[in-house]
């Protein structure tokens, strides 16, 4: 099955700084790479995704970059704010049904 590794497991940054979370995957057939944000006690919510035909996608303060050759993709958050504090998950489709296998999560804390 798909092996998805996510780093770091915890990340603390000062408000206004940037945060970067990285995921590596094993299935070279994967072509869809979403990121989810889960606030405390809430459901995971899709915040950005990228398909393999592009190398970068931006949406305001968040961006995702993809390196298909190296099989890794990263989430970049700029100008972090306290409300960015949450657990972030990467995911990769796997198996015959292409269901999402999630990374282990990164607890991001933005310090005011």
Q: Choose the binding region for another protein from 12-20, 54-62, 71-79, 91-99 (rule: CB under 8 A).
A: 91-99
For every residue of 40-103, DSSP letters joined together read TTS--EEEEEEETT-SEEEETTEEEEEETTTTEEEEEE-S--GGG-EEEEEEEEETTTTEEEE-
Q: Which is nearer to another protein, 32 or 79 (CB)?
A: 32
14, 60, 69, 96: which one contacts another protein (CB under 8 A)? 96
Which distant-in-sequence residues (6+ apart) come within 8 Å of 41 by Cβ? none
**52 and 66 in contact (C-beta within 8 Å)?**
yes
Among 10-18, 36-44, 64-72, 75-83, the segment contacting another protein (CB under 8 A):
36-44
Residue of 49, 57, 63, 109 interacting with another protein (CB under 8 A): 49
Least distance CB 79 / another protein (angstroms): 24
Q: How far is the CB of 97 from another protein (least distance, A)?
A: 5
- Of 32, 93, 36, 44, the C-alpha closest to 62 is 36
Site of interaction with another protein (CB under 8 A):
31-32, 34, 38, 42-46, 49, 51, 87, 89, 93, 95-102, 104-105, 107
């Amino acid at each position: 099955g798909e092996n998805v590794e996510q780093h770091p497991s915890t990340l603390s940054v000062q408000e206004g700084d940037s945060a970067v979370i990285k995921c590596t995957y094993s299935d070279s057939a994967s072509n869809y790479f979403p990121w989810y944000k889960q606030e405390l006690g809430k459901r995971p919510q899709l915040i950005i995704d990228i398909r393999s035909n592009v190398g970068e996608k931006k949406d305001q303060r968040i961006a995702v970059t993809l390196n298909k050759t190296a099989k890794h993709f990263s989430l970049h958050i700029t100008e972090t704010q306290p409300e960015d504090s949450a657990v972030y998950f990467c995911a990769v489709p796997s198996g015959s049904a292409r269901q999402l296998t999630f990374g282990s999560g990164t607890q991001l804390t933005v310090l005011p």
